[in-house]
Amino acid sequence: MERYRMFKSGKTGGYFQFDKETKRQKSLHTKDRESAVRMVNAANEKERTPMINRQIGLIYLASTDPDVLSRTWNDVIVSYCESRKLDGPSLDRLARAGRAKAVAPLLNRKIIDTKPEEFLQCLNSGGVSVNVYLRRWHNHALEMDWLPKRVLSSKLWPKIRRKIKRAITLAEHQALKAHIENEEWLDYLETLWWTGGAQMDIATLTGERVSLDSGVISFQRAKLESKGAGKTLLMMGPTLREIMTRRWNQGCLFPYLASIRTTDRATYFRRYCERTGIGNDVTLHCYRYSVAERMHSIGFNQRFSQALLGHSTDRNHNLYAKGAVVEVPCLETSEIDFKLERQNGLKLLTNPSYHEVKEVG
C-alpha cells in the first residue's frame, strides 16, 4: 500500500501531497498534473524500497525464529524474570518494574518494530528505575538474539542519576523515639540502630535466631539466603540484650511488623517522619547507612562491618560508609611518638642484657 497520494486544490488549482501515516499534507508547488504525479511516485518509490528490503529480511529471520514477528516487550520481561531465578521481594521488585506507567506503551509493542523514539519517550517519562530496568530488558533481548541490532545506541541512553542517600542521625533517631508510642515500633527502630539489618530481615527475626545465654543474634539476609551467603553472628550489647530479653519468644519478635508488607512498613515510617518534622529523604534503609558510617568512624574492622551488613565487595560497602566523619590523630604528636618508639627500640637492640636474654632463651 502506497504511503502518499495526490489531490488537487479546488481553490488554487495546485497539487498537494497527502501522507497517510502522519495525516499531513504539503504543497507540491505545481499546477501541472504530470509533474505532480512524478513527484508523488518518487516519494512512494523512496518509501517502497526500504520496506521491501525489510520484508525480505523479516522472512529470513522468521525462518530461524518463528516468534520473531510476534514477540513483544512483555515477553522479554517475562523471560528476563525467569532467567534471574529470583523469588520473594526481589522477584516482586522486577514485576513492579514491568507494571510501571512509563513502560506501559512498550508492553504490547513488537520488539522487531520498536523505534528509538519510543524508548526515549519511556525514558523521559520515567525515573531512575525505568532507566535501569529498560537497559536490562534491552540487553537481555540482544543476548537472546531477539533483536538484530540495538534499538538505542549506548551513547543515547540518559545517564543514571540516583538520589543521594544518607544515614539517619542520632538526633533524628531520638526524635522518632520520643514521638512514637507503639512499643513494637520503638524496639524495632532501636534494633535497626544497633544492628543495621534490612527492614524485612529484622521484622521477621524469630526467637530461634537469638541466643540469650551466649548473647548472640544470628542474621540471615533474605535476598542472599538462596546463594548460601549473608549469615552473620552479632554479639549483643546491653541495649540489644534488654530488647531481646523483653521480646523473646519462639515466634517472630515483631509479630505485627512481620505480618505487613514491606511497602506498608515504609509508609508507616514515612508518616512518623512527617509528624516528627524529619525530611522525606529518611527511610528505614538509612539505618544501614548509619551503622556503616558509625563503624567506619570508630575504625571498626571493615571485614566485620561488611559481614554485619551483608556486603560482598569493598566497593558496595564503601558506598554506605562514604558519609562517615573520621577523626584523624594529630600528625605532629604521632610523628614524635613514632620517633621515641624507634629510639627506644634501638636502645634495646644495643643493650647487652638484651642479647643475653636472647641467648638464654
- 162-213 per-position pLDDT tens digit: 777 889 999 999 999 999 999 999 999 999 999 888 888 889 888 888 888 8
Residue with cell 529523604: 281
The answer to whether residues 260 and 137 touch, using CB atoms and an 8 Å cutoff, is no
Instruction: Please report which confidence band the pLDDT of residue 355 belongs to, taking 50, 70 and 90 as the band edges.
Output: very low
Phi, psi (deg, nearest 5) at residue 20: -70, -20
User: Order of strands across the sheet with 15-19?
Assistant: 4-8, 15-19, 24-27
Please check the confidence at residue 106 and state whether its pLDDT lies above 60.
Answer: yes
Q: Which fold has domain 70-156?
A: DNA polymerase; domain 1 (1.10.150)
Give bridge partners of residue 15 from the DSSP assignment: 8
> Per-domain residue ranges for the chain?
4-64, 70-156, 170-321, 331-360
The answer to whether residues 36 and 25 touch, using CB atoms and an 8 Å cutoff, is no
Q: What is the mean pLDDT of the chain?
A: 83
Closest CA to 288 of 248, 247, 316, 261: 316
Please check the confidence at residue 39 and state whether its pLDDT lies above 60.
Answer: yes
Please check the confidence at residue 354 and state whether its pLDDT lies above 50.
Answer: no
Q: Which three cell numbers stand for residue 317?
A: 560497602
- In CATH terms, 170-321 corresponds, of 2.130.10.10, 1.20.1250.20, 1.10.443.10, 3.40.50.300, to 1.10.443.10
- Alpha helix (H) ranges present in the chain? 33-64, 73-84, 89-98, 104-107, 116-125, 128-143, 170-179, 183-195, 199-203, 238-247, 255-259, 262-276, 286-297, 302-309, 314-321, 331-350, 352-360
Tens-place pLDDT, residues 214-255:
888 887 776 666 555 557 788 888 999 999 998 888 788 999
Cα gap 195→189, rounded to integer Å? 10
Closest CA to 100 of 80, 79, 118, 74: 74
Cα gap 209→222, rounded to integer Å? 14
Dihedral angle computed from the Cα positions of residues 338, 344, 349 and 354, in that order, rounded to the nearest 10 degrees: -140
Phi, psi (deg, nearest 5) at residue 209: -95, 5
Q: How far is CA 195 from CA 85, 205, 308, 342, in A?
A: 29, 12, 8, 41
Strand, coil or helix: 91: helix
Cα gap 188→26, rounded to integer Å? 69
Instruction: Please report which confidence band the pLDDT of residue 8 belongs to, taking 50, 70 and 90 as the band edges.
Output: very high
Phi, psi (deg, nearest 5) at residue 332: -65, -55
Closest CA to 118 of 139, 102, 97: 102
Please check the confidence at residue 105 and state whether its pLDDT lies above 80.
Answer: yes
pLDDT attached to residue 323: 72
Cα gap 158→168, rounded to integer Å? 30
Closest CA to 133 of 123, 125, 148, 124: 123
| Choice between 9 and 335, residue whose per-residue pLDDT is larger | 9
pTM: 0.63
Q: How far is CA 208 from CA 204, 211, 260, 273, in A?
A: 11, 8, 21, 32
Instruction: Please report which confidence band the pLDDT of residue 274 belongs to, taking 50, 70 and 90 as the band edges.
Output: very high
